[in-house]
Amino acid sequence: MSELLKLKPEALWKHFYSLTQIPRPSKKEEKAVEFLKKFGEDLGLETIVDHIGNVIIRKPATPGMEDRKGVVLQGHIDMVPQKNSDKAHDFEKDPIEAYVDGEWVTANGTTLGADNGMGVAAAMAVLESKDLQHGPIEALFTIDEETGMTGAEELKPDVLKGDILINMDSEDEGELYVGCAGGVDVNVFMKYTEVDTPKNHKAYKLSITGLKGGHSGMDIPLGRANSNKLTARFLNHCLYHFDIYVAEVDGGSLRNAIPREAFSIITVPAAEASKFEAEVAKFNNIFKAEFSGTEPGLSFFAKETELPAKVAEKEVMKKMIKAVFACPHGVERMSDSMKGLVETSNNLARVIIKNGEFIVNNLTRSSVDSAKEGTMYKIGTIFDLIGAEVKFEGAYPGWKPNMNSAILKTMQEVYNKRFGKIPEIKAIHAGLECGILGSGYPHWDMISFGPTIRFPHSPDEKVHIESVEKFWIFLVETLKNIPKK
């Protein structure tokens, strides 16, 4: 990992390396919060940890820049803890094993944490610098962005003094983001009756592995497979051809990650075992053929296992399988106003059928609040029909683009002058904190940008080395050209 310390700009990469050494999964950021607090205090800068755990560090303007508008440099402390099933890693204790892989930096079998470690590291480099030109700076490091945007939601509206918010959580260098999707969690819960496993049955553990997964917003239009949907599809098929019973289903992990794996334990009559095994093999080929372009590592297989004592009662089992099979996943609608932008989507993130409890977690996103609500209620209706309890939780607003933004104009001019082209203006199908933060600070002029990151929220996450240097140069030049008050 010492390779990272040799990369340019060294001022940024050294801080990113430090962050890889500190466990910081969502809702477990305490060590990183203490690290940032000490960092600010050691620099002799005003450092605040608010009631929820956000860290704010203030740096005065450099000489001659006191008349510039105040800038809030913002990133989130937490990272998504995803790993391959064969990787032994404790995200609450172990450092990330980052390494250079050609033009990229990636991690060994886990998420890298470039989302949003790169933004945090860039702000740290600005705070530490002694030779950069900038007006008044406030660095805002928020907690729990990935699982609930708790830090942004809890930020008090009178703490920050700046006029411009520069969010550094976007993932395509050369693009400026001026809008984002809002979201809501659609959570389902139901208790069900278990019965004794029928006699003369054999049990199988079904496994779907090798999927790419990825960010449930930005990667949702890529057409990747969802392990929960494939499992429900096969089980629904089996309802018409076998006398199956379900003992357990466990698929997906995080609400904002496309599910990569799913495991289930089912029983079939011993007399139908050979036919069932052949059906699994057939569906393995079907799934591989359907997703040959997007999921080359897909694997679906069955392995005989110990017969469970209990299984779900037949009729409720059918309802649970069919509801999950019917639940939408993927793109619901593309945007009419911005070409190529997903307007509305749903991620069927988590499915559990175990020990008499049925749990389903969805993350619904949309840049149009009414469309978000419509999809939310459509999903809720499916599970209402089987008698489950449905809760709509953690809703957060989108961020409406302001094409007359002064910071947008400034950054377009700076990028064009430095790199010879005007950056693309985009909105993102993901939940940037700008929408929430802007509701507490409605006067803010907001923008988001960042280096090129691929496959965030998955163990394939990687950041492009050259783009990091351009991102840094762009940030430095932007701070030098911030408009006057």
- pLDDT per residue as tens, the chain (485 positions): 689 999 999 999 999 999 999 999 999 999 999 999 999 999 999 999 999 999 999 999 999 999 999 999 999 999 999 999 899 999 999 999 999 999 999 999 999 999 999 999 999 999 999 999 999 999 999 999 998 899 999 999 999 999 999 999 999 999 999 999 999 999 999 999 999 999 999 999 999 999 999 999 989 999 999 999 999 999 999 999 999 999 999 999 989 899 999 999 999 999 999 999 999 999 999 999 999 999 999 999 999 999 999 999 999 999 999 999 999 999 999 998 788 889 999 999 999 999 999 999 999 999 888 999 999 999 999 999 999 999 999 888 888 888 899 999 999 999 999 999 999 999 889 888 999 999 899 999 999 999 999 999 899 999 999 999 999 999 999 999 999 99
Domain with CATH 3.40.630.10 in the chain: 2-180+398-480
CATH class of 2-180+398-480: alpha beta
Question: Cβ distance 29 to 144 under 8 Å?
Answer: yes
Structure-block tokens of residue 278: 């052949």
C-alpha angle 465-470-472 in degrees, rounded to nearest 5: 95
pTM score of the predicted model: 0.75
- Catalytic residue numbers read 78, 145
C-alpha distances in angstroms, 483 versus 38, 58, 479? 31, 19, 9
DSSP string spanning 418-432? HHSSPPEEEEESS--
Cα separation, 326 vs 208, whole angstroms? 19
- List Cβ<8 Å contacts ≥24 apart for 276-285: 276/204, 276/238, 276/242, 276/302, 277/204, 277/302, 279/237, 279/238, 279/241, 279/242, 280/204, 280/206, 280/234, 283/234, 283/237
Interacting residues of 401 by C-beta distance below 8 A, sequence separation 6+ = 178, 179, 427
Locate 480 and state its tokens: 């030098």
- In the chain, residues under CATH classification 3.30.70.360 are 184-396
Q: Compute the distance between CA of residue 448 and CA of residue 426 in angstroms, rounded to an integer.
A: 10
CATH T-level assignment (fold) for domain 184-396? Alpha-Beta Plaits (3.30.70)
3-state helix, strand, coil in the chain (%, to 5): 30, 30, 40
Half-sphere exposure of 323 (CA within 13 A, CB side): 30
